[in-house]
A and B are shown apart, each in its own frame.
Chain A
């Protein structure tokens, strides 16, 4: 168990800098999710913590050690890979026992630790099988088992659920969360899926273009996005962005500035009765909720989230939108949040 501290981490490949200085402090037992679109440098950051990529500048602390120059095996970490990276020629038991054998753990203890992990992950009937004889979910569990038998100080997850089907993904997500809570091991988890990030994280690091745009608890990040990118990336459907200030008594926005409002913070009212009117383009009924897509007179596209039991407005009708002005966020031309 350990804290992790990242200090001004940078990574360059030749002259191209891909990570532009990231600082973060992760406390012991915390579940941190690094989330961002593909190519944002999140996997590279994780691999730097793992020791699979060199660090161009900055320091990584795990516990009370600076690990920059240490080999992966000296860092007291375990990693779960996107493609599981199981050893195809070894049985499930041997896959899990491999690290312990290398560490010269006594045979009896290897048996006991693998058996315990297998019990926890419901892998007991499969210990003699080869990875190719297992389903995707089972392989995922073996990869988890391999990580937990070693009792590392830190778990690293590199998009571990992206190869599973949607239903299994939800199930494994819950299992990972429960397991991490139970073991109390610090975890760093990389994903591009904002739902995974929201549900798993104690705190999340939202990355874009090699920069940590925001670090915070999921609900804080959702309610108070620091940048326009975070506002658009976290939340589905994303925050609505309007190029005209619709709040009463306000002048025009600065050039390039925009306002944002979450789809669920808009109510449908009679035309003219709200802050602004929009023409319904189409509706997406999802059962529990309905997404109403439309365009304002000024040409801004908007999505409104309404209760699924409300009668759907017909396509092409004009509807008023009621918005609490306090819910409206403003962003300057560089995408940074400004205080109203």
Chain B
């Protein structure tokens, strides 16, 4: 039987919902509405007045080579971040799950990077890889490899991916470890007795049973790569060199607040919002079907 609460006072339910609705309205619907509204205007060069252009901003964006390239950059970046953050975290979680002595110490240490703010994480990696003073850049130089991410777009991409993934590994690790520990030990033992090797057990028992966790993390990580990595990119590369690390969210910022083209920036926000919405729907419709709850 469904349990229903009946309120005597007809205003009380609305009052109880009000704080959540207010937060959602102020921080989501209102700015989203503003973005949609502003995306139909372009400001003059001095920001004194705006002119209605309809869908002009969108038209301009899709005709713009840099914007189209930013899509590709975002795709490469988010796939790399998600795949590396998740697979590395899963690997660590599997190892930590097997540790018997001092497992809580390992766990605590592995969780630490999550407490580091994105901008600080960016600066940490920037120091290590600084082409002139960074210790890792120096080590690479000793090995005969020239590191200069301020000139090489590929290296810049590798660096922001590494920094972004590194920060997210802790979070993924935590969920993967909990997921692994929720798998009954006897199921694994039964598979061992059934003759499955470690790798086979992982592939046919552990990984399928972990799929709800994996799916959840996939959604979270893609959204992380799309939005929360802004701080990392801003501190390390500022989108460069030659826009090679300018992902969509960074372009929203640089066109809007550096380039002062608020109309285009707003149009990009609208596109980004739609894109992430579609991605999430696709994940739930097509990938979730393969999840065993």
Contact = CB atoms under 8 A, between A and B. Distances in A.
Interface string B168-211: 00000000000000001011011111111100100011001100
A102 B194 contact: yes
B208 A85 contact: no
A29 interface: no
A88 B210 CA distance: 12
A150 B187 CA distance: 17
* B interface bracket (residues with beta carbon within 8 Å of A): 10 to 19
Given A88-B209, A88-B292, A83 B192 contact: no
B208 A73 contact: no
A311 interface: no
B195 to A, nearest CB: 4
A150 B193 CA distance: 11
Main secondary structure of the interface of B (DSSP, over half): helix
Contacts of A77: 193
Contacts of B292: 88-89
Contacts of B184: 83, 85
A33 B281 CA distance: 56
B195 A102 contact: yes
A242 B141 CA distance: 87
A81 interface: yes
B209 A85 contact: no
A200 interface: no
Contacts of B208: 89
A72 B209 contact: no
Contacts of A87: 187, 190-191, 205
Contacts of B191: 87, 98
A79 B196 CA distance: 14
Nearest to B205: A87
Contact of B192 (A73, A103, A150): A73
Interface string A203-237: 00000000000000000000000000000000000
A262 interface: no
Nearest to A47: B189
Category for how many chain A residues contact B: 20 to 34
A85 B187 CA distance: 5
Contact of A83 (B186, B193, B196, B197): B186
A170 interface: no
Contacts of B197: 73
Contacts of B205: 87
A224 to B, nearest CB: 36
Nearest to B194: A99
Nearest to A94: B204
A107 to B, nearest CB: 17
Interface in A64-123: 71-73, 77-79, 81-83, 85-89, 98-99, 102-103
Contacts of B192: 51-52, 71-73
A78 B193 contact: yes
A207 B207 CA distance: 39
A83 B200 CA distance: 22
Q: Which of A51, A73, A103 has the most CB of B within 10 A?
A: A73
A146 B193 CA distance: 11
Nearest to A79: B193
A50 interface: yes
B196 A73 contact: yes
A9 to B, nearest CB: 19
Contact of B194 (A82, A88, A150): A150
Nearest to B186: A85
Contacts of B187: 85-88
A81 B195 contact: no
A69 to B, nearest CB: 15
Nearest to A158: B186
A215 B143 CA distance: 69
A85 B196 contact: no
Contacts of A85: 184, 186-187, 189-190
Pick the most buried of A83, A102, A150: most chain B CB atoms within 10 A of its CB: A102
A88 B292 CA distance: 9
A98 B194 CA distance: 7
Given A88-B209, A89-B209, A89-B292, A81 B196 contact: no
Nearest to B291: A89
Contacts of B200: 102
Given A73-B197, A87-B187, 19 more contacts: A51-B192, A73-B192, A73-B193, A73-B194, A79-B193, A81-B186, A81-B189, A85-B186, A85-B187, A85-B190, A86-B190, A87-B205, A89-B209, A89-B292, A98-B191, A98-B196, A98-B204, A102-B195, A103-B195
By Cβ-Cβ distance, the 10 closest A-B pairs, closest first, are A99-B194, A85-B186, A73-B195, A85-B190, A89-B292, A102-B195, A81-B186, A72-B193, A89-B208, A72-B192
